[in-house]
Amino acid sequence: MALDPGFWRRKRLEEMTSEEWEALCDGCGLCCLHKLEDIDTGEIVYTGIVCRHYDQARARCTCYAERHEKVPDCLVLTPERVARLHWLPETCAYRLLHEGRPLPSWHPLRSGRRDSVAEAGVAVAGKVVSEADVHPQDWAQAWLTAREADEADNRDGKDAAP
């Protein structure tokens, strides 16, 4: 069934149908990255290592229907959990709507195209490595390498600014 245009502007998260709820996910893959938690501060940082079931070429989970059997700690998002999960990315549609903010113009529900997520630089595809290709003992190093690359990108971006 076709989605009601603009439903996300009129409905609260808990009022959405399952079809509407699923359509909010832009497939960015940020929540599929492994995360590290600072045990002193509780700060969560994203590593550059993505779940082995995330298909970077298609920007989606390859086992969505049975993801909990394959990855027991893969969370089912619900409105209640969205309210509690402080680590959800700033760009995540569930977090944005929960915080009363609009969906960005690159969101597929607004752009009409899934490619707009990657074009906006939000998708992880092409920027991360699969956990299948990194030994767990090397995760910390892979994260540091990704973080250094990010910081270098940010510096270059600032240097290039007028």
107 binds ligand SF4 (CB under 6 A): no
In the chain, DSSP assigns E strands to: 33-37, 44-50, 54-55, 60-61, 129-130
Please, are residues 83 and 92 in contact by the beta-carbon 8 Å criterion? no
11, 34, 67, 114: which one contacts ligand SF4 (CB under 6 A)? 67
Please, are residues 143 and 47 in contact by the beta-carbon 8 Å criterion? yes
120 binds ligand SF4 (CB under 6 A): no
Residues of this chain, 129-158, that bind ligand SF4 according to CB under 6 A: none
Residues of this chain, 28-47, that bind ligand SF4 according to CB under 6 A: 28-32
13, 49, 82, 93: which one contacts ligand SF4 (CB under 6 A)? 93
Count of residues of this chain found to bind ligand SF4 when the rule CB under 6 A is applied: 22
Please, are residues 66 and 130 in contact by the beta-carbon 8 Å criterion? no
Q: Quick one: 58 or 155, whose CB is closer to ligand SF4?
A: 58
Residue positions counted in the chain: 162
13 binds ligand SF4 (CB under 6 A): no
61 binds ligand SF4 (CB under 6 A): yes
| Residue 112 buriedness (CB in 10 A; 0-12 / 13-18 / 19+) | exposed
Task: Name the segment binding ligand SF4 (CB under 6 A); options: 12-20, 60-68, 79-87, 136-144.
Answer: 60-68
C-alpha distances out from residue 41 to 36, 44, 45, Å? 12, 9, 11
Where does this chain bind ligand SF4 (CB under 6 A)?
25-32, 51, 53-54, 61, 63, 67, 70-71, 74, 77, 89, 92-94
